[in-house]
Amino acid sequence: MQLSLIRNKVNFSKLILLLTFTISIDASAQQLSDCSEIPSADVPATLDCLDANYEILDKDLNQTYKQLMSILPEDQKKSLREEQRKWVKKKSSCKSKEESPRGYVAQRYCEVEETQKRVLILKKIGK
Contact 21, 3 (CB under 8 A): no
> What is the pTM for the complete model shown?
0.74
Contact 45, 38 (CB under 8 A): yes
Q: What are the pLDDT digits (tens) for 38-64?
A: 998 899 999 999 999 999 999 999 999
Q: What are the pLDDT digits (tens) for 67-111?
A: 999 999 999 999 999 999 999 999 999 988 888 888 999 999 999
Count how many domains the chain has: 1
The SS3 assignment for 72 reads coil
pLDDT exceeds 50 at position 113: yes
- Residue type, position 80, single letter: L
Enclosing domain of residue 46: 2-126
